[in-house]
Structure 1
Amino acid sequence: MEVIFMNKLSRTSDQHEDIAQLWIGEEENMWHLGWSRYEAGDREDTIWYEGTSWEELLHIYRHQLAMQMSEGYRPLLQGLYHENEELKPRSYAGQRLHCFSELYGNEQLYDDLCAWRRQKAASDRKAPYFVATNRLLRLISAFVPHTMDELMQLPGVGESKASEYGLEWLEMTSGTERSRSFPLDWVYTVLKEEEYDSWLYKQKEQKYKQELDKFLTRKHVLQGMKDGQTLEEIVIRSGLSRRELIELLETLDLEGYDTDSLLDVELAVMPEAEQEAVWSAYEELGDTFLKPVLHKVYGGERPEAGSLEQVYERLRMIRIRFRRHVETERNAG
């Protein structure tokens, strides 16, 4: 195997230095990605990836490397994650506050704030994150503002949010002691640089995990279509819901992937005359909204109990073909 990339990493803990190597190799058109850890002269190898997809290797590389760096490993050669890329001053300050709040927050106050949010979201009929994000509640729990002016020094608290919920938050924080006060400039000297760096890489780890999961989901769907699987079989294979899968099919079709084999299988049970009626409805009403098309085709007759979702699925699948047809006609013209 030819090694095409290698970097040495180390971390120091309790006066002991851990050494590791990250490497990428190529052999007979196969990519290999691995992590080698050295301890007391012994080498322990962990293979992160073996396969033919360079794109998949890169997704795994980013995620796994972020995990190791969030645990304290640092590379001999810098530049793996653009470490020297400067943050805007405002962004830098906000990131430090978020980091400190997640590492040193008051857990009891945070739990109380979360309980308050659940009740408020239910009473206002809003999603909890519209009331307040986890990050905002962490900031409140860590810095414990006692006045409206202090509250508005926290990132994410503007006049609208403060006027809507500020008094309730201050009522919860008023009885909580704090070891430091506002303004929060002290955070930038108290927070250790190594703590902040590890926290940043933990954020990258979460980001790259989401990107890897998205990549693998698309891979499973594309392979399922190639294998001639049904919609339900691909649902099981990918872990998506049926609606999520159809929404992904719409995206894949726009990107030029062939979805016809799967659409043929799923629409085979739908009478041709019914499909033509749906197509005509799209031509007349447009393809933005499904409900007018449903009413146009089926009138006042409701599908049988439990099958409305299935009808909407078929409308979406026909819409995939209709939009492709319209785009083809537009390009041809």
Structure 2
Amino acid sequence: MRIIFLNSLEKQQNGTMPHNAQVWIGEEEGIWRMGWNETIAESSTETIWYEGASWSEMLHVYRHQLVIRLSEGFRPVLEGIWDGQDGYQGRGVAQKLLCYSDLHPNEALYSELSLWRRKKAAELRKPPYMIASNRLLKLISVFRPLTNEELMQLPGVGAAKAAEYGQEWIAMMASAAGERPGHFPLDWVDRQIDDEVYRAWVYKQKEAKFRMETERITVRRKIMDEAVRGSNLEGICTATGLQRRELVEWLEVLEKDGYSMDEIIGKELEGMAVEDIQAVWDTFEELGDQLLKPVLQRLYTAEAIEAAGQETLYERLRLIRMRFRRERSYNRKAV
């Protein structure tokens, strides 16, 4: 096996002997292998992080596994493990505030704000995330702004959001028990966070991001493998742990990326009459394929929707839409 990349890392242990480690990437006959060797005292262990033919998949695993080690305190002996950067980009103001709020949470106030958001979302008929993100509620609960000017110093609060919800937030903070951790402006936060603690926090944020990316790659590969085996939707759901709706969304992504899911679609539409499929097709031609609700309402009565199940009908529409969009794309290319 040819080693094409190697870097050494160290982790200091409170004045004791450091842990030494190496991350390496090798190639043999088109197969990539990647691993982590760690030495503690005289004991050495090797962990294989990846073995396969996909370079891009290996890079995702590399970033995910490496950032876990960086968040644990390992530091590279030579820079360059992140294409010339180690992923730590200094101490931005917004990042520092987010870090402090994670390290010093106010769970009681955060729960109160979360309950307020649920009620407000129901009242306005909006998804909760459109009213305020979890991170914004955490920032408000920790720093407890008491004026509109203070509120707008928090990242994620602009003039529109402050005008819409600011007075309610400020009233909740004014009535909260206990002292604030510090006054505004929040420049004192920078002095409160140890640089190494902040660095580890940044890596943990990256680790969560890379973990999600790695999980998506794993799910994508499982879907493709099951498609090759000729599995239907139910079989793929069993293999991947996805719900049917999630899986259909994945099929739409794969279709958009150029992979034909027609065999799976065909299996699911076998019990649907040809004339019913054609009726859906014609309705897409007439109304367009961006919104499914108008198509559903044009094709089915309320009684028919209740009898068949709305989720089942939407699933069929989405499967037929994939075929519709593929054929339309072919026709455009032909022209």
**Count of residue pairs the alignment pairs up:** 331
Query: What secondary structure is seen at the aligned counterpart in 2 of 1:5?
Result: strand
Match of 2:10 in 1: 10
Equivalent pair of 1:8/1:20 in contact (CA under 8 Å): yes
Cα distance, 1:207 vs structure 2: 0.9
1:197 corresponds in structure 2 to 199
1:278 match:
280
Mapped partners of 2:255, 2:181: distance in 1: 57
What SS does structure 2 have at the residue aligned with 1:130?
helix
Contact residue 144 and residue 176 of structure 1 kept, 8 A:
no
Tell me the secondary structure at the aligned position of residue 325 of structure 2: helix
User: Once the 2 structures are TM-superposed, how far is the Cα of residue 99 of structure 1 from its aligned partner?
Assistant: 1.2
Residue matched to 2:247: 245
1:62-77 matches, within 5 Å, as: 62-77=63-78
Single out whichever of 240-249 and 200-209 deviates more from structure 2.
Answer: 240-249
The normalised TM-score by structure 1 is 0.89
Unaligned runs of 5+ in 2: none
The TM-score normalised by the length of structure 2 is: 0.88
RMSD: 2.5
Question: Could you tell me which residue of structure 2 aligns to residue 176 of structure 1?
Answer: 178
Structure 1 gap ranges (5+): none
Aligned to 2:161: 161
Amino acid at match of 1:54: W
SS at match of 2:259: coil
- 2:60 touches 2:214 (CA, 8 Å); kept in 1? yes
In structure 1, the partner of 2:46 is 45
From 174, 184, 187, the counterpart of 2:189: 187
Partners of 2:20 and 2:40 within 8 A in 1: yes
C-alpha separation in 1, matches of 2:257 and 2:317: 20
Once residues 124 and 274 of structure 1 are traced to their aligned partners in structure 2, the CA distance between those partners, rounded to angstroms, is 38
* Residues 6 and 311 of structure 1: CA distance in aligned 2, closer, same or farther (over 3 Å): same
Is the contact between residue 142 and residue 181 of structure 2 (CA under 8 Å) also seen in structure 1? no
Q: Secondary structure at the match of 1:246?
A: helix
How many Å apart are 1:52 and its aligned residue? 2.3
- TM superposition shift of 1:238: 2.1
Any idea what the Cα deviations from partners look like across 1:236-289, whole Å, max 9, x if unmatched? 222222222222222222222121211221122112222223223323333233
CA distance in 2, matches of 1:126, 1:273: 38
CA contact (8 A) 2:37 2:44 kept: yes
- Using a 3 Å threshold, how does the CA distance of structure 1 residues 275 and 35 change in structure 2: closer, same or farther? same
User: Secondary structure of the residue that 2:266 maps to in structure 1?
Assistant: helix
Matches within 5 A, 1:170-319: 170-174=170-174, 175-298=177-300, 302-303=304-305, 305-319=307-321
* CA distance in 1 between partners of 2:298 and 2:180 (Å): 63
1:127 matched to 2:111? The reply is: no
Over the matched positions of the two proteins, sequence identity in percent amounts to: 48
* Within-5 A mapping of 1:19-38: 19-38=20-39
| C-alpha distance in structure 2 between counterparts of 1:165 and 1:295, whole Å | 36
Structure 1 residues 312, 170: CA separation in 2 closer, same or farther (over 3 Å shift)?
closer
| Residues 124 and 297 (structure 1), Cα distance of their counterparts in 2 relative to 1, 3 Å cut | closer
